[in-house]
Amino acid sequence: MSNDGGMAAYLFHQGTNTYAYEYLGASRVRSGEGYDYVFRTWAPNADEVSLVSDFTGWDSPVRMERVTERGVYELIFHSERDLDGSAYKYLIRRGGRSLYKGDPYARYCRTGLDGASILFTSTYRFSDESWYPARRKAILGENGRFCPSPISIYEVHAASFARREDGGFLSYRELCDLLLPYVKSMGFTHVEFLPLAEYPYDGSWGYQVCGFYAPTSRFGDPDGLRYLVDTFHRNGVGVILDWVPAHFPKDEWGLYEFDGAPLYEYQGKDRQESRSWGTRFFDLGREEVQSFLISNALYFFREFHVDGLRVDAVASMLYLDYDREPDEWIPNANGTNINLEAVAFFRKLNTAVFAENPDALMIAEESTSFSSITKPVHEGGLGFNFKWNMGFANDLFDYVATDPYFRAGKHSALNFPLMYAFTENYILPISHDEVVHGKKSLIDKCCGGYEEKFSTARALLLLQMTYPGKKMIFMGCEFAQFREWDFEHSLEWFMLDYPAHRAFREYVASLLRLYLERPELYELDFTPDGFEWILPDESEKNLVAYRRKSISGKALTVVVSFSGTEQTVRIPCTKDGLSPLFVSVETGALADGAIRIGRIRNRYYANITVPPLSGMILTEEANQTIVIKENENVL
């Protein structure tokens, strides 16, 4: 069964084997009365590679044979019994050193510092066929219009969404059974999990991955994750995973200097290591690493039916000088700071993903102004179809943290995002990164006393839900948890015993449900046709007003005020006037007479009294008696 000259080996070394996990790693083949287990790993710098395991003896290594010139080693092990559940590692010797390494392609790993690989054969059978036609229609749309559908994402850290009474982790199945009805009741269309591939250190939140092909065993076996995705799909909710192709930690059993020398990581010190994270960057120009990473992305689409990947730390991959001093990096062949190998990698990755999954979500977490992130590869872009708008979030959080008296000087936080809103396909994120490390929780970011914080947060979320772009909220923000997110403990669900927090969650749920019901708020997110400014520059009033439009031409008017005092504005309208569809004030309704309709010659206006720290969504669909006063002095 040696694959010395086989096509799989050839493609792997060429960087084009997108099923590398079927060639490398451990696979089981029925053989007579028993089983043949085929182990393969890539270790070109090794002097010798052996298998050690529960079934061969940890102190009795079984040597593997080098079967390709570029360093693939292979062993065929016959067993009379099924070895599923057994642990194994590779013993790699080089220059007198002995390294015990986990299998880079292992489907299952032991959590923790040991990191032993575990043989695992899935027995799960998906039953989510009905999900895919709806997904395709939602993302690809019709008549060439991309994603004319609502996307509202609930970002989740599986280890701290909820815990058992003893503080232990929920299993994938327990998490599914708790999280799914909650997400459905709130009105989210998708969940996005912080990384679920195996990671040794809880404090990394999953972003320091050692077992890229192994869903973390903290929550059960890989079929538990399959059950979760399948169940979500059968209930109409999509699943996105965070994916980390930028870097990996230096745990001894992981990819770090896998065969006794830099292999998966860059060779040169100018690119090799992240100072801030203490991790190694993947060598994106190496063909075998490309096969490893692109196969890994497709593995989660094929084997776990995920709907998308949020690709972490894209900026760290794109820039040669990322987190480096001026004398610590070398320009590319063009003399610039762009990592040309990373650019080529992203184009290759996204081309491969969309070739199989044209309706996938490939979301870039990219924090700079690098252009054409979400442009197709054939148009010179990187080929993602979504990008987090991190500037929108950071500027807005800084704005609401400022006392209303001084907000006029920061008004660009409200109107500048529309200067670039249609240059990429944006998701507007309120993410985990913004509610930790002293940045405060969402509610606590807001300036003012207790009531003012709640009012400001309600207005902020109304702004997010009505600006162009798809939506994302991190868990806990929806019920205004005051404490920063703590990865070691459950969310503070007891806060819902307090009326203000219970009411805030119901407000968010009502806002999300309205978002799902009104095409004006999502059909034209990526074109200026869906947005029109009414009042962009009311900096002294800390206020903006705008319209959102649907494909059919219907429109909603939105007014959001971050002023600490009542404001009055004049909004052009039709003779039918404007009626409140949704308001953020705690009572859920505007005061009598807050909207008065006037006419000057043949032009109609709504004279609106806007409460402090509030937002409102208005419609021209008549639902109240409107009295028009001729030539009223509307201001």
- The Cα 115–Cα 197 span in angstroms is 12
Residue 321 token pair: 């000088």
**Strand intervals (E) in 157-201:** 190-193, 197-198
The secondary structure of residue 2, as a DSSP letter, is: -
Half-sphere exposure for 228 (CA within 13 Å, toward CB): 30
**Cα 164 from Cα 169, distance rounded (Å):** 6
How many CB atoms are closer than 10 A to CB 185?
Answer: 12
DSSP assigned state of 253: T
Specify whether the CB–CB gap between 600 and 634 falls below 8 A: yes
Residues 6+ apart with CB under 8 A from 66: 49, 72, 73
Pairing of strands 470-474, 531-538: unpaired
Which residue carries 């096969």 as its tokens? 291
User: Exposure of 82 by Cβ count < 10 A (0-12 exposed, 13-18 middle, 19+ buried)?
Assistant: middle
Kindly name the residue from 365, 366, 433, 538 that is annotated as catalytic.
365
Is 236 in contact with 230 (CB distance < 8 Å)? no
Q: CA torsion sign, 168 to 171 to 177 to 181?
A: positive
Strands (E), 264-390: 280-281, 308-311, 361-364, 386-388
Q: How many angstroms separate the CA atoms of 14 and 8, rounded? A: 10
Are the beta carbons of 265 and 283 closer than 8 angstroms? yes
Q: Which residues of 351-387 are buried (b: 16+ CB within 10 A; e: fewer)?
A: ebbbeebebbbbbbbbbeebeebbbbbeeebbbbbbb
C-alpha to C-alpha distance for 323 and 302, rounded to whole angstroms: 35
Please list, in sequence order, all residues whose beta carbon lies within 8 angstroms of the beta carbon of residue 8, skipping any fewer than 6 positions away: 17, 19, 22, 23
36 in catalytic set: no
- Report how far apart, in Å, the C-alpha atoms of 128 and of each of 27, 118, 237, 453 are: 26, 28, 11, 42
Query: In a 10 Å sphere around its CB, with 0-12 CB exposed, 13-18 middle and 19+ buried, how is residue 302 labelled?
Result: middle
CA separation for the pair 350, 345 (Å, rounded): 9
Report, in angstroms and rounded to the nearest whole number, the Rg of the chain calculated over CA atoms: 27
Neighbours of 133 (CB within 10 A): 10
User: Max Cα separation, the chain?
Assistant: 96
Catalytic residue among 192, 288, 312, 434: 312
Please list, in sequence order, all residues whose beta carbon lies within 8 angstroms of the beta carbon of residue 420, skipping any fewer than 6 positions away: none
Is 506 one of the annotated active-site residues of the chain?
no
Q: Which residues are catalytic?
A: 312, 365
